[in-house]
Amino acid sequence: SYTTDTKAREENKKTIESLYSLSVDVKKIRRLKEWVLLQDVAYVKEIAGILQEMGADETAVASILERCPEAILHSPGEINAQRALWQLVCQNEKQLIKLIEQFPESFFTTKYHQNQKANIMFFQELGLKNNIITRFLTSAPSIFYNPVEKNKNVIETLQRNYLHLGGSEANMKIWILKLLSQNPFILLNTSTAIQENLEFLQKNDFTDHEVLQLLSKLKGFIFQLSSSTMQKSMLFSKNVFKCSDQELKQLVLKCPALLYYSVPVLEERLEGLLKEGISVAQIRQTPMVLELTPQIVQYRIKKLSALGYDIKSGSLESLNGTKKDFEVTYGKIQSKKERPIFNPVAPIHTED
């Protein structure tokens, strides 16, 4: 809604002076969003005043305005309305100003104020805790820009399918809230896309119980895929592992990444493993290694090799898991290696 014709316009001197008086790095704004400095109307002092009222010091105010200079183009009325809105889910103003410092763009998007308000109310009614809603406001603000009816529609589609797939009424609320908190971007999908993806899994002989299992394991990311990409990924895995449809289904349940990652990603990861001397048979035994990037695989193999652990003859299980999981595995292998075979001072157990 603001003009970007920089040639025909001059910088607003009053805006520049006000920013300088707040120790804002105007050069930074010029470099990144010069158009803000060209607008006839700006509320520099007023916005700075509101931020200070909430507890922001001079450094914090300057940092917020440098990172999100378009904040000064909003009227004090709009910002106070946004402040009241975010206070519905923030414990206090101290938490609110901390969030604004970290995520100024999310806070200063006031365009969808009514939708944001209606969605906050809807999420609270749904049973989402305020700390989860504040996380959504900062990390997934676009879900609040949807009309509330659209979000309700997606939630209703998920609830209907959950029950249809054999989920119980008693567990439905917990399931929905967990799915949402893991992946709020589910709400950016359409009800039709959700329906199509579930039908695709059922057509591929996954039982209702298995479909539910996949939804939970994939944290709802399955809805961000299309049936054609899932089809291609499954076909790729089937050819690589030379398995039947039933065997492929078991592999996917063991490692949903086979369904989620596109063919180029799976190809790159497979090549990375084969380069390390790992066989296709080993990968088929432990498909979860395909969840790791080639860089992570290389790093972990290197660390294990230094302990004398041969990944080609050993199990790939030791490569698996999160960073924390791997560190635990590595620690166990390391202590096993360091432990003496015979401890002369250990008491002798005659039962042994």
Write down which residue in 110, 140, 161 finishes a domain: 110
Query: What was the pLDDT predicted at 218?
Result: 83
Rounded to an integer, the average pLDDT of 297-306 is: 89
Query: What was the pLDDT predicted at 150?
Result: 95
Rounded to an integer, the average pLDDT of 105-132 is: 94
**Environment class of 284 (CB within 10 Å of its CB; exposed 0-12, middle 13-18, buried 19+):** middle
Query: Is residue 130 situated within a structural domain?
Result: no
Lowest mean pLDDT among 95-104, 187-196, 242-251: 187-196
Contacts of 148 (CB under 8 A, 6+ apart): 115, 118, 119, 121, 122
Local structure of residue 321 (DSSP, 8 states): S
Q: Phi then psi for 272, rounded to 5 degrees? A: -60, -40
Rg (CA), the chain: 27
Q: Is the pLDDT score of 4 beyond 60? A: no
**H-helix or E-strand spanning residue 164:** helix 148-164
Q: Are 217 and 256 in contact (CB under 8 A)?
A: yes
Query: Is residue 294 situated within a structural domain?
Result: yes
Local structure of residue 162 (DSSP, 8 states): H
What is the reported pTM? 0.78
Number of domains in the chain: 2
Query: Is residue 249 situated within a structural domain?
Result: yes
Lowest mean pLDDT among 56-60, 185-189, 293-297, 344-348: 344-348
Query: Is residue 5 situated within a structural domain?
Result: no
> How confident is the prediction for the chain on average, in pLDDT?
89
Query: Is residue 189 situated within a structural domain?
Result: no
Token reading at 168:
């119980």
Between vectors from CA 329 to CA 327 and to CA 330, what angle results, nearest 5°? 60
Query: What was the pLDDT predicted at 322?
Result: 87
216-264 pLDDT, tens per residue? 888 878 888 888 999 999 999 999 999 999 999 999 999 998 998 999 9
Query: What was the pLDDT predicted at 101?
Result: 94
Q: Which domain holds residue 61?
A: 10-110
Place of tokens 């004398």: 308
List, as one string, the DSSP characters of 95-145: HHHHHHHH-HHHHT--TTHHHHHHHHHHHHHHT--HHHHHHHHHH-GGGGT
Query: What was the pLDDT predicted at 339?
Result: 61
Query: What was the pLDDT predicted at 1?
Result: 47
Token reading at 314:
């050993």
CA–CA separation, 1 vs 257, rounded Å? 42
Token reading at 232:
């291609």
Write down which residue in 69, 93, 110 finishes a domain: 110
Write down which residue in 77, 110, 143 finishes a domain: 110
**H-helix or E-strand spanning residue 176:** helix 169-182
Q: Is the pLDDT score of 83 beyond 90? A: yes
Chain mean position to CA 90: 21
Q: Is the pLDDT score of 344 beyond 90? A: no
Q: Phi then psi for 3, rounded to 5 degrees? A: -70, 145
Local structure of residue 256 (DSSP, 8 states): T
Rounded to an integer, the average pLDDT of 14-33 is: 93
Query: What was the pLDDT predicted at 352?
Result: 41
Go through 226-249 and write b for each residue having 16 or more CB atoms within 10 A of its CB, e for each that does not. eeeebeebbebbbebbeeeeeebb
CATH number for position 313: 1.25.70.10
User: What proportion of the chain, given as a percentage, has pLDDT over 90?
Assistant: 66
Query: Is residue 125 situated within a structural domain?
Result: no
Query: Is residue 56 situated within a structural domain?
Result: yes
Split at pLDDT 50, 70, 90, the class of 8 is low
CA–CA separation, 279 vs 311, rounded Å? 10
Place of tokens 């939630």: 155
Query: Is residue 71 situated within a structural domain?
Result: yes
Rounded to an integer, the average pLDDT of 93-99 is: 94
Q: Is the pLDDT score of 338 beyond 90? A: no
Q: Is the pLDDT score of 346 beyond 70? A: no
Query: What was the pLDDT predicted at 61?
Result: 96
Contacts of 99 (CB under 8 A, 6+ apart): 86, 90, 107, 134, 137, 138
Query: What was the pLDDT predicted at 345?
Result: 53
Rounded to an integer, the average pLDDT of 204-213 is: 91
Query: What was the pLDDT predicted at 308?
Result: 84
